[in-house]
Amino acid sequence: MPAYNTIAFHADRCDMCGACMTACAQAKSASDSPRRARIEVLADGAGSFGLAMCRQCADPECVQCCPAAALRKDAETGIVEWDHDRCVNCLLCTVACSYAGISLDEAVGHVVKCDHCGGDPACVRACKTGALEYLTTARIYNEVGALEDLFVPGLAGCQGCNTELLMRHTLRRVGPNTVLAAPPGCVPGMGAVGYNGMTGTKVPVFHPLLTNTAPMLAGIKRFYKRKGREVTALALAGDGGAADVGFQSLSGAAERGEEMLFLVIDNEGYMNTGMQRSSCTPYGAWTTTTPVGRESPGKSQDAKNLPLLMVGHRCAYVATASAAFMTDFYAKLDHALEASRHGFAYLHVYSPCTTGWRFPSRQNIEVARKAVESNFVMLWEYSPEAGLRLTHPIDDPAPVKEYLEAVGKYRHLTPGQIAHIEHHIADNVAAIKRQATAPL
């Protein structure tokens, strides 16, 4: 049985502006009257809001009670469909539904209900606060769920690490016709390449040097292409090797448009070797080589914006992603994979490190989410044809203090350092937005 997309409602973000209802009425009934909408936001009497709308139930009461078989659950889309030709206008469904999701529209004289607008719901588009969200995570389950996990069981990541999650999801999506490069770092550190003659994956995998991941993959890819074989060249690299000692070779491969998917898992330092500073380590952060002491308050420079530098190479595709936004990640993985068939595709995934960043292992995804919601990191994608586009714009960001307080490596920060970080975020947001609106 497949999983389905759904419209989620976050009551805490709703300000009852009514835009969703107006948008629905316009889209579905060519009317500006919210009374003609198939969605209704209601005060619940306890200071919050409730949503009256079809939930596209798995086992719908409306379908069960319909005497005319005018309602049915579409197994492919998951939408509960209403058939005008069969409906006898008994209105039993309106009573059966616990969510007030189907009701009589007196203007047309029959029941109406939500149909997700064919996959692009007008209400979600109209919602400015993020209270309504169209969740498409179902496609991960449907499209990837049955694909083979190509890593061995029992990779030895730290407790709560999200890198293993990213690795497994990525490789099962990219598939078996792949050569995987895992330069020194957490990915081989947890056993992806294997030990003493044994492998950690079911695809050909190798340790490049920290410095030559991209050119080694380029040699492999170019020769197979010459021989008429379509093989995916995939790198699962860390931020240190990519941004520091391996940057020259990364830049060279990007400039030449070598066809590969280069995925960087950015945990903001050399976490595998013991949490040392890299050029992707943010300002103020404690690391083992930017320790906090009487003379030093952590790292004294801002992080290098590696994905933006890759945009400067006009790669076939560049995107940032986060372990807390897997739908977004999957969409970008697809775009990157496609772009890697004709050019250099670069995917930069922000990946909090429970061990190196000093926070409880159960909070990994939460920390990743807070980074995005405070604009500490931003989710966007770029191609030379379409330019840069924010994929998850945060117009009303949470205070970055909330993010910094969740992460132990920032616990020593002074108000002055926090002000520096806030200023840096503002600069970064402005820079990305400039890119997003710049002419191609």
Partner 1 sequence: MSAAAPARRFLVCDGNEAAALAVALARVDMVAVYPITPQSSLVEYLAKYIADGRLQAELVNAEGEHSVLSVLQGAALAGARTFTATSGPGLAFMFEPYLRTPGMRLPIVMSIVTRDTLTPQSVWGGHQDAMSVRDVGWVQMYCETVQEVLDTVIIAYRVAERHDVMLPVNVCHDGNYLSYGTARIEPPDQNVVDTFLGTPDVNWHVALDPERPMAVDPLTGGAGGAGPAMFVRYRRGQCAGMRDALDAIREAHEEWGRLTGRHHAPLIERYRMDDAEFSIVTLGSMTGAAKDAIDEARERGRRVGLVKVKTFRPFPAAAIAEALRGHGAFGVVDRSVDFAWNCGPLYREVLTSLHGITPAAPSQSFIGGLAGADLTVEHFESVIDTVGQLQNAGARDTVWLNAQD
99/206 with CB nearer partner 1: 206
In the complex, what is the shortest distance from the CB of residue 203 to partner 1, in angstroms, rounded to a whole number?
A: 5
In the complex, what is the shortest distance from the CB of residue 157 to partner 1, in angstroms, rounded to a whole number?
A: 16
CB count in 10 Å sphere of residue 247: 17
CA distance 85 to 155: 57
Q: At CA 149, angle to CA 209 and CA 177, rounded to 5?
A: 60
In the complex, what is the shortest distance from the CB of residue 239 to partner 1, in angstroms, rounded to a whole number?
A: 20
65/209 with CB nearer partner 1: 209
202/401 with CB nearer partner 1: 202
CB count in 10 Å sphere of residue 64: 12
99/224 with CB nearer partner 1: 224
In the complex, what is the shortest distance from the CB of residue 306 to partner 1, in angstroms, rounded to a whole number?
A: 17
219/399 with CB nearer partner 1: 219
CA distance 434 to 428: 10
CA distance 160 to 359: 10
Helix H or strand E encompassing 382: strand 380-383
Residues that bind partner 1 (CB under 8 A): 176-179, 188, 193-209, 211-212, 214-224, 226-227, 231, 248-249, 251-253, 255-256
CA distance 13 to 302: 32
| First-residue to last-residue Cα distance in the chain | 43
40/258 with CB nearer partner 1: 258
62/216 with CB nearer partner 1: 216
CA distance 173 to 331: 11
In the complex, what is the shortest distance from the CB of residue 294 to partner 1, in angstroms, rounded to a whole number?
A: 38
Residue with tokens 């609106």: 437
In the complex, what is the shortest distance from the CB of residue 360 to partner 1, in angstroms, rounded to a whole number?
A: 30
CA distance 261 to 206: 15
Do 123 and 26 touch, CB atoms closer than 8 A?
Answer: no
In the complex, what is the shortest distance from the CB of residue 193 to partner 1, in angstroms, rounded to a whole number?
A: 5
In the complex, what is the shortest distance from the CB of residue 275 to partner 1, in angstroms, rounded to a whole number?
A: 20
In the complex, what is the shortest distance from the CB of residue 29 to partner 1, in angstroms, rounded to a whole number?
A: 54
CA distance 56 to 8: 12
Nearest CA among 424, 397, 429, 432 for reference residue 299: 424
Beta bridge partners of 317: 345
Do 346 and 258 touch, CB atoms closer than 8 A?
Answer: no
In the complex, what is the shortest distance from the CB of residue 197 to partner 1, in angstroms, rounded to a whole number?
A: 6
253/345 with CB nearer partner 1: 253
The rounded Cα 344 to chain-centroid distance in angstroms is 20
Sign of the torsion angle spanned by Cα atoms 331, 335, 336, 341: positive
Do 182 and 156 touch, CB atoms closer than 8 A?
Answer: no
Structure tokens that stand for 238 in this block: 């860390």
CA distance 9 to 6: 10
In the complex, what is the shortest distance from the CB of residue 183 to partner 1, in angstroms, rounded to a whole number?
A: 11
130/176 with CB nearer partner 1: 176
CA distance 223 to 331: 29
Q: At CA 303, angle to CA 380 and CA 312, rounded to 5?
A: 50
